[in-house]
Structure formats: structure tokens, C-alpha cells
Structure 1
Amino acid sequence: MTSLPDDTLLDDAVRLGDADPDGLLRAAARAGAQVRATVEAAADAGLSRLEGERPRAVVLICRPGLSPAVCELLSALTGPACPVPLVVAERVPVWVNALDVVIAHTDDPGDTVLAESVDRACRRGATVVLTAPADGPVAAAAAGQAVHLRPRVTVPPGFSFAAAYTAGLLALRALGLLQVDTDALADELDREAERCHMQHETFVNPAKSLALRVAEHIPLLWGLDEVATGVARHAAQVLSTHTDLPCDVADYQQAASRTALHRAAVRAAAGRDIFADPDDGDGFPAVVAPRTLLLAVRSTPGDPVRHQAAQVLPAVDVLAPGQELGVPEPIGAAVLALRFELAALYLGLAAGTTGGSGRYAPANA
């Protein structure tokens, strides 16, 4: 059974502050600052050496933590028309050499697998772009060889999505594979953090509203496009970090092929069985009812996937803040990712699965 949130906490700034003595909400709100700091670090580390280069392949190293979502997002943003193969791998492939570019991120300075991969890639002459702590085996493997973007904004482990994402965007931009305005990205993340500030009440706070929508439910995070599915991957990561809610992540077409789960989502969205006895097997107990959230980043007129989802799940919320704000896809994806990060924190603080002491402490603290 999932932990039940105290929803009155969300609109009580004093209690929220007491429940968050480590300043996790403030750390998440520093996403814009992480973007600016990463841009500065990239300039100082000489990332500009990639400009004008056309590598044989770009390898995105997928390590535990934030990397899977970042890799999926970067791959989706470049799209199938990318003139250079983008390879996602858990470690550097054996064929990597001086013709290739490797992009990697970790919050774990002692990730020996990544350290070995960075060392191997550097010894073979590949250009390595790394975001990782300044000390430890990973940093030692990168020393003097990789473009190592050390963190300049201090945040707890697991809060460096904006830095990792920005580093990948900057590398792809330098290679001419993707366009992004990092100043606009940082500014929009600052605005999202302000919209979702703890002082704003739930009815005007997008992150708090999102937290209440998924509270006491099993979130089904289904992407209506490849970029949105990458954001959903990050959403599941932060929800699993700060709450005990299990999540399902898939693109909508894949979700539709999961017949029983998709049928349950349709039934729940239609409001059927709301009076069913939770013990009779016909309905969902309130704490495990599914809540479908459709995520969208790309806006393609006449998109058949979005049309299908609207026909089958007409009452389900579609989360597309980037489209509402009229910002490019890389920025819209980052805004949606930050909204989920803050929502997960609000829900975790209200349920006591993350944050401070007393009734808000994790059970095993």
C-alpha cells in the first residue's frame, strides 16, 4: 500500500519548510542556475573544440540514475533524421575510436563501470564529454583527457538533471546536430520554478496540482511522442525517488498494446465502478486506482497517435506545458521534467516518504 499524503501540508508554507529541512525544493528550483553554470563550465572546459566536427557516431552512456531519461531525451530530440548515428549503451562499445564522441553523466563518483568506459574511450582517442563530481574514480579517469564539466551549483545527488541535460544539448549543438537557446532554457526553468513555488497555493501551482492528481493512484505516464516519453522516464525516476508510487512508462502506442492495463485505464478515466466494493474484485481500491497522464512535447497537426488517444481517453489530462508556453521542444521537455520533479517532492513531503523528521520522515530513517 502506498503512503497516504497529508494534502493540507501543501498549502501550509511553514509546515512545508519544516518538512523539508534539507532544502530539496530549493535544490530542484535551481535548475535554471544549473543550466547557466553548465554553459559556463562548457566554455571553460573547451567544449567548443567539437564545433565543425562530424563524428562517425555519438555514443550516449546510460548509467543508473538520471542517465536513462537524459539519453532517451537527447536521442528523441535529434530524431531519425540525424545525420550521425546516436548509440545508447551502458558502457563504451569496443569499436569506439578517435572518430567518435562519447557523452556521459553520473552522480556517483565511484561508478567503476563508467570510470573504465571513460578511460577506454580516452585511450582510444574518442572525444568524451562528461558531467560528474569533481573527485573519485570517474573524475580520475577523465583527468586531462575528457571534457569534464564539473558541477558548479551544489545540489544533492539525483538533482542534476538540468546539468546533465544541458551538457548533452551543448555537445549536440556544437556538433551541429541540434539547435537550442540555453539562455532561453535557463530563463524558462526559472519561470517554471516560480510558478511552482511553495508559497503559491495548489489551485495556481502546477506542480502541487499535479501532485494531487497522482496521489493515491498508480500513475500511467504515457507519451504521445518520443520526446514526451523520455520526459515520462524522468518523471518515473523522480516519483520513485521521492514517493512510493509505482509507475508505468510507455509511448501511447505501446501502452495501447498492453490490453488489460489499457482497458483498466479507459475504465478508470471513464469514472466507472466508483461505487464498487474495493474488496469484491470488480473495482479498484482507491489507493491503487490507475491515473493516466498523457504527456506531449511535440505538436504535429493531424498526429494520428494524439487523435487515437483523444478518442479513447477523452477525459484524461494531457500535460503539454511547452506547447502552452510556445517554446521549442528542448525547452518544453525541460519544463515538463522540472514540473514532475517538483510534484514528486511535494507529494513525497506530504506523504512522509522524503524530507525531514517526525511524521514526514521515511519509515526506515
Structure 2
Amino acid sequence: MPDDTLLDDARRLADADPDGLLRAAAGAGAQVRATAEAAREAGLDRLEGLRPRALVLLTRPGAAQAAPGVLAALLGPGCPVPVVRADEVPTWVGPLDVVVGHTDDPGDHVLAAGVDRAVRRGSAVVLTAPPEGPVAAAASGGAVLVVPRLPVPPGFTFPTALTAGLLALSTLGLLRVDPEVLADELDREAERAHPDHESFVNPAKALALRLAERTPLLWGLDPVATAVAARAAQALGTFTDLVCDVADYQQALSRPALHRAAVRAGSASDIFADPDDLDAPSAAPPRVLLLAVRSEPGDPLRRLAADRLPGADLVDPAEELTADEVTRAAVLALRFDLAALYLGLAAGTTGGSGRYAPATA
């Protein structure tokens, strides 16, 4: 059971976080700036003017596994280039294709073999990876190797992977990205979520309290939000012991038993609800968080979700900041990272001396 009093006690929070995990997460903006500089020096501009036959976004295991999904969702169905998400470099890649990937594991032999093949066949490859090991050796033959410059603990590399991918897509002319604007907004989100700020004004702490002792149902109202929800589930699994459900809301509607449970859990907070109509609560009742990145006035799906799940929480960065879709997605991901950390510190599932030991990403 989390100690929610810890969240508003800055001294106790600092004692529970001797490794500075909150500080590491709050450095997302710094990761964006460092990655942008590393990409420039690595020669990312060689992609300018390319119009690839296919854009391959590699999904490798690790803390940044959700980044390709966010990139693909941001591109959307209107992307003029076919987008392929793959766990490995496809065997068909050739000189007309662009491959974008990230790994925290310098010894990822599957990725190393795929990168070597893509480079030999003349594909343009953009890879974010440590500077040594089989992966870096494979990339040295002609790939754009973006080496992370800002050391962070395991589990915190999502901003680096996302930024490198965004910059690659921007160089190809597929997305418009200003890394300085993105970094500044992430800095502002980190400031809003500073440990010294109390829960009622701290969006990450408030979100952590909503998730405490619940089973989070992270349901997206648009494809980008659903992709960010996958990152949120990764963060919650890294820093807490919560099990999450991730789906877009239309998919959630196709699972009537779970949807009914979510409706019942939401109605339990209604002071006008008839107690006789409510089942006994489970050990960890569900809590629906409706995630949104693309704010579209009059969106029928949002209206439907609000009608059917009046007790659900809407998490929409557009309600608090004026920014483009890319920035809103990154801010939403950071908010969940910080919320997961606050919840993990309060529950004792992360932080403390030697207690934070996630699997190598």
C-alpha cells in the first residue's frame, strides 16, 4: 500500500530516492537537447532529400520499446511513405529504404546482424546505441550512429529514442519537429511536477494518487494517445507493481465484461449511486484513464466515452498547454514516467538502497 503522505514531504521523498531517479526522469528535456546535438554531429543531414521506398521503424526490447509506435502514430495513415514496424530488420531492405532504430543493449546480436545487412545493401540507417559493442561495430560501416551523451539510469532512455526518431522523420520531411521547443516544454512539465510542489498542483503526483491501489485501464481516444499508453504501461511496470490494460477505446468497447467492470467502478464514486446496485469491490478495482493527444472539438469517440464512463479520468495535455501534437505526446509520456516514479517511491517498489534493480534494457 503506498504511503501517500510521502508524496507531499520533500525531505522524505529525497530519502526514498537516494539514486536521484526523479531527477533523472525530469531531465527529459536535457536528453532531447543532447540527442539533437549528437544527431547533428553524427551527420543526420545526409537523409535530407531522400524519399524512401519504405520507412522501417525497429522495435527492440527495452525501456524505449514504445517509441516506434508513437512515431508511427504521429505519422498517421496520411504519411506519403509506407511505414513498417518490425522487431528485426526485414530481409527485403535495400538501397531505397530507411531504417530507424534504438537499443540500450550494445550486445544486441539480432540488431547488429540486421544493421550490418541493411548497411551492406545500401539502406540509410539511423541508429541510437551505445558507442561500443557489436551494434556500434555494425553501424560503423555507414549508418548514422547517434550515441547518447547524457548518462541516465536503466529505464529512462525513452526521450532519447523518441527524439532521435523524430529528428530522422523531420530530416526526411515527414514531420515538423523543433527540438528546442520540445525540450523547453518538457522542462516546464518537469517543473510543474517538481517534488516540492504539493499534489493538488502537481500533475504527476495527482496522477499517481489516482492510480494508487487500482488496476489502471489506459484507454486511448486517438492513435497517438494509445501509443503513449504503451509507454505509460512500461513505466508503471518498471517502477511499480501495477498491471495495466492498454487499448484504444473502440477496442475496449469490444470487451464488454471489462467495460462493465469499469463502468461499475466509476459509478461507485457517484454519491447518488444506489449501493445495492454495486458489487463488492475487488482487491484492486479498475480505474479508467482516457488518454488524448489529438484534441478535436466534437470528437464523437470522446463524447461516447464520456457518456458511458462518467467516472473516468481524462488525461489530455491540450487542456493545460498550447503545443503541437508531437510535444503533447512527449509531455504525456513524461507525466506518466514521473507519476510511476512517485507511486513506486510511495509504495516502496522502487528507490531506496539497492531496491531499484530493473532488468537490463
TM-score interval for Structure 1 and Structure 2 normalised by the shorter chain: over 0.9
The 3 A distance-change label for structure 1 pair 91 and 362 is closer
1:282 deviation in Å?
3.5
**Range with bigger deviation, 266-275 or 96-105:** 266-275
1:110: which partner in 2? 107
Task: Please report how far the alpha carbon of residue 323 of structure 1 lies from its aligned counterpart in structure 2 after TM superposition.
Answer: 4.3
Report the residue type matching 2:40 in the other structure.
A
In structure 2, the partner of 1:313 is 309
8 A Cα contact 1:132 1:139, kept in partner: yes
Residue from 42, 46, 57 that aligns with 2:43: 46
Residue 244 (structure 1) aligns with: 241
1:47 to partner: Cα distance: 0.3
Aligned pairs for 1:43-122 (under 5 A) are 43-122=40-119
Alpha-carbon displacement from aligned partner over 1:230-251 (angstroms, at most 9, x marks no partner):
1100000000000000000000
Which of 323, 330, 354 is residue 326 of structure 2 equivalent to? 330
Give the deviation of 1:85 after TM superposition. Answer: 0.4
Matched, 1:297 2:293: yes
Matched residue, 1:357? 353
Deviations 1:293-324 (A, max 9, x none): 00000012222211110111123111011343
| Residue 264 in structure 1 maps to residue 268 in structure 2 | no
CA contact (8 A) 2:64 2:157 kept: no
| Alignment partner, residue 186 of structure 1 | 183
Residues 171-210 of structure 1, C-alpha deviations (whole Å, 9 max, x = no match):
0011111112211100000000000011111111110110
The CA distance in 1 between the partners of 2:2 and 2:63, in whole Å, is 25
Match of 1:36 among 26, 33, 36: 33
Q: CA deviation at 1:144?
A: 3.8
Give the structure 2 partner of residue 254 of structure 1.
251
Total equivalences in the alignment: 355
Matched-pair contact (CA < 8 Å) for 2:269–2:311? no
- Which residue is 1:20 aligned to? 17
- The aligned counterpart of 2:173 is 176
What do the CA deviations read for 1:16-45 (whole angstroms, capped 9, x no partner)?
111111111111011000101111011101
8 Å Cα contact 2:263/2:311 also seen in 1: no
Supply the AA of the counterpart residue of 1:335: V
Amino acid at match of 2:197: H
2:287 partner SS: strand
TM-score by length of 1: 0.93
The 2-side partners of 1:228 and 1:138 are apart by: 31
Correspondence 1:288 to 2:284: yes
1:151 counterpart (136, 148, 151): 148
TM-score, L = length of structure 2 = 0.94
Give the secondary structure class of the aligned counterpart of 1:265. helix
CA distance in 1, matches of 2:309, 2:225: 17
Give the CA deviation at 1:363.
Answer: 11
Aligned counterparts of 1:214 and 1:334: Cα–Cα separation in 2: 20
Note the residue ranges of structure 2 that are not aligned, 5 or more in a row.
Answer: none
Q: Distance in 2 between matches of 1:183 and 1:324?
A: 20
- CA distance in 2 between counterparts of 1:221 and 1:68 reads 17
How far apart, CA to CA, are the structure 2 residues paired with 1:110 and 1:191? 36
- CA-atom RMSD in angstroms: 2.0
* Mean Cα deviation higher: 236-245 or 57-66: 57-66
Work out the CA distance in 1 between the residues paired with 2:284 and 2:216. 9
Would the aligned equivalents of 1:352 and 1:362 in 2 still touch at CA under 8 Å?
no
Contact conserved, 2:199 with 2:205, CA < 8 A, in 1? yes
**Aligned counterparts of 1:222 and 1:116: Cα–Cα separation in 2:** 36
* CA distance, structure 1, for counterparts of residue 64 and residue 339 of structure 2: 20
Q: Secondary structure at the match of 1:156?
A: coil
- Residue in structure 1 matched with residue 5 of structure 2 by the alignment: 8
Offset at residue 69 of structure 1 (A): 1.4
2:198 matched residue in structure 1 = 201
In the alignment, what sits opposite 1:135? Answer: 132
Q: Is the 8 A contact 1:107 1:158 kept in 2?
A: no
Cα contact 1:322–1:331 (8 A) shared by 2: no
Aligned partners of 2:46, 2:205: CA distance in 1, in Å?
A: 42
Residues 119, 141 of structure 2: 8 Å contact kept: no
What letter matches 2:353 in structure 1?
Answer: S
- SS of the residue corresponding to residue 217 of structure 2 reads strand
